[in-house]
Amino acid sequence: MMSAVSTKGRNARWAAQSLSLAVGMLPVTSCAGSTVGGGGVEPVELPPMATAASTTDPRVGLKAGLNDAGVAASNMVLVGHASKSAMLDGEGGARGLTFANSDLAFRGNYVYQGNFSGFQIWDISNPASPTLRNTTVCATGQGDPSIHGNLLFISSESTGDRTDCAASGVADKVSKDRMVGVRIFDVSDMAHPKKVMDIQTCRGSHTHTLVPDANDKSIVYVYVAGSAGVRPDEELAGCLDGPADDPNSARFRVEVIRVPLAHPEQAKVVGYGRIFNGLAPVNPHGNAPADIAAAAARAAAPAAGARTGPNQCHDITVYPESGYAAGACGGYGLLLDIRDPTNPKRLQAAGDTNFAFWHSATFNNAATKVVFTDEWGGGTQPKCRSDDPIDWGGDAIFSIVNGRMVQGAYFKMPAAQTSQENCVAHNGSLIPVPGRDIMVQGWYQGGLDVFDFTDPNHPYEIAYFDRGPVDATRIVTAGFWAGYWYNGHIIGSEMARGLDVFDLVPSRYLSQNEIDAAKLVHFDQFNPQMQPKFVWPAAFPVVRSYLDQLVRGNGLPRARTAAIASALNDAERLSGASRRSALNAVAGQLDGDASGAPDASRVKAMADAVKALMNATM
């Protein structure tokens, strides 16, 4: 195992200047086929690095309410909403996490939304009107979902969860009725999901991640991140609550489940990834000013025992195409080698004293960067207040160089939130804009945020959507658990309010061509913790995306980008051999432009996209 490295807080501030626009005043720029260089895009400077949360942002001071809260949005629009099932309503969040919505998985036109008391299946064939196809009540704890074909995997962690899915709980210390681990449902009949297997694990499943077998498509593996206490050996054989140096301890490991897809009832734990060996504890940051008084009140409490390094991961994101996984494991962010999915190996561990709890991770498409989130406060506390340090409770961006992580800047949703809004960095995914690294992310009651991290030392906000707090007088746990891009839309899982569907709107930092190119990437199914590789088809919006980026960043002289835009428009009006000849000429000119261009790599990428388009022309 590689040794751990500690990367302390950097002087770099959050790149978080808000590109704020009033609702209903969203700018529209650029369109396919435009004859202006870069499709109407203009050169722009990146927004400056912010040093504190803004108190003048349009997101500040929004009206509270469950279904009638105030809204602020910039460069994205809400196109569809559905309230969660009455079977899982829980009085609009009044019962805390009991009925809270959680994570999402996607297949075809369906969204599988987890809930602490079960799951919902939504049909988003019409994005403007999501339709509930099924609600299954089954006490699970967090209820993280993943989908593979007709098999739906659901995490179960609460020690009161039962094999029969009942909500009555389990009172006995040792019981055959307890279910903590991963449930598998057959959802081939969506109206009547059928539970086919409970895979019991020693510490349950807070989250899980599907991992394909590159050599056997009939098998899928499941990495289990469990954070419950260790079960008694009398209840599940082999569950030993031992220290770090005990190789049989149920702590300090990730469980690996093997699932034969044709026979999920034969799924079982087949191995353990001991990826924490040798990791010492990292001292997290202290309390924010608003929390210092509360900490003082706890000072008289008995001291805890000696601290250890991490003994479980909160979340593991795998990127099979790259051979990497990123483990967000409490006190560390881990870079893992998963080329042998049954035996994940740690390449590096990064600690950061500006992080309280390493929560989740997202790679860029090239696997040259990874974004880790810090869930300071556990997701139920307000950590985006005006006096909360701007470098706590957000994202840290790392470059990956020769299998090693190098830390860059931090990013945090930039608008100050109230003490009645739980807010901190949470789950998100990439948006497939060619040539750029762009991510959408949930911030609980801080809303959804879209940001660019192409430059790992200068991330910046592109778009946002935020509602006011559910309640103006107290915290009601709510907000966006996650926001994910799926087949042309952003889908948001709102813990108390339901499911939201959004579209991006062009702005000075994101063109219509880039949005159109992103919409060309489609998947039959998508589990955010199992990142797929984006591959764009040969298409004019892809080519024009690179051109827009060259204009925006002054990557070529303006006269050249205008000439290229005109040549592309001319080529698009042609067909067959004439189009191929015209595109060949453009590609040749771009090859020449790349020499000495301020942004030579992007010019080369555009040339490659033109050549792909030429080769695809019939």
pLDDT tens per residue across span 178-226: 999 999 999 999 999 999 999 999 999 999 999 999 999 999 999 999 9
Q: Which residues pair with 335 in a beta bridge?
A: 326, 348
Alpha carbon distance 235, 481 (integer Å): 33
Alpha carbon distance 212, 331 (integer Å): 27
Q: What is the mean pLDDT of residues 590-610?
A: 97
Alpha carbon distance 498, 78 (integer Å): 13
Number of continuous H segments (helices) and E segments (strands) in the chain: 7, 31
Query: How far does CA 501 lie from the centroid of its chain?
Result: 16
User: What is the pLDDT at residue 8?
Assistant: 40
Q: Are 373 and 392 in contact (CB under 8 A)?
A: no
Alpha carbon distance 244, 261 (integer Å): 34
Lowest mean pLDDT among 86-95, 265-274, 451-460, 491-500: 86-95
pLDDT tens per residue across span 53-63: 999 999 999 99
Cα distance between the two ends of the chain:
52
Alpha carbon distance 339, 154 (integer Å): 25
Domains of the chain listed by start with CATH number: 4-297+308-526 (2.130.10.10), 554-616 (no CATH)
Predicted confidence band of residue 73 (pLDDT cuts 50, 70, 90): very high
Alpha carbon distance 557, 266 (integer Å): 62
Name the DSSP letter for residue 23. Answer: T
Predicted confidence band of residue 26 (pLDDT cuts 50, 70, 90): very low
pLDDT tens per residue across span 255-264: 999 999 999 9
Q: What is the mean pLDDT of residues 337-352?
A: 96
pTM over 0.75, yes/no: yes
295 pLDDT more than 70: no
171 pLDDT more than 60: yes
Q: Is the dihedral of CA 124, 125, 129, 133 positive or negative?
A: negative
Predicted confidence band of residue 95 (pLDDT cuts 50, 70, 90): low
Q: Is the dihedral of CA 309, 311, 315, 321 positive or negative?
A: positive
Q: Are 514 and 548 in contact (CB under 8 A)?
A: yes
2 pLDDT more than 50: no
Q: How much of the chain is helix, strand and coil, in % rounded to 5?
A: 15, 30, 55
588's CB contacts (< 8 A; 6+ apart) are none
283 pLDDT more than 60: yes
Alpha carbon distance 509, 504 (integer Å): 12
**With helix as H, strand as E and coil as C, how does 378-393 read?**
CCCCECCCCCCCCCCC
Which residues in 116-204 belong to E strands, given as ranges? 118-123, 131-137, 145-148, 151-156, 181-186, 194-200
Q: Are 103 and 481 in contact (CB under 8 A)?
A: yes
User: What is the pLDDT at residue 285?
Assistant: 76
Q: What is the mean pLDDT of residues 74-98?
A: 84
> Whose structure tokens read 């080329």?
339
How does the average pLDDT of the chain come out, rounded? 91
Burial state string for 360-390 with b = 16 or more CB within 10 A and e = fewer than 16: bbbbbbebebbbbbbbbbebebbbbbbebbb
Q: Which of 196, 223, 198, 221 is nearest to 209 (CA)?
A: 223
- Proportion of the chain above pLDDT 70, given as a percent: 90
21 pLDDT more than 60: no
User: What is the pLDDT at residue 379?
Assistant: 96
306 pLDDT more than 90: no
Q: Are 139 and 178 in contact (CB under 8 A)?
A: no
Q: Which of 4, 23, 128 is nearest to 73 (CA)?
A: 23
Q: Are 545 and 433 in contact (CB under 8 A)?
A: yes
pLDDT tens per residue across span 418-459: 999 999 999 999 999 999 999 999 999 999 999 999 999 999
Q: Is 15 helix (H, G, I), strand (E, B) or coil?
A: coil
User: What is the pLDDT at residue 91?
Assistant: 58
User: What is the pLDDT at residue 311?
Assistant: 81
Q: Are 559 and 567 in contact (CB under 8 A)?
A: no
90 pLDDT more than 70: no
203's CB contacts (< 8 A; 6+ apart) are 180, 226, 227, 228, 229, 230, 231, 250, 251, 312
Lowest mean pLDDT among 70-79, 104-113, 272-281, 549-558: 272-281
Starting at the earlier edge strand, list the strands of the sheet with 145-148. 145-148, 151-156, 181-186, 194-200
Supply the Cα-derived Rg of the chain in whole angstroms.
24
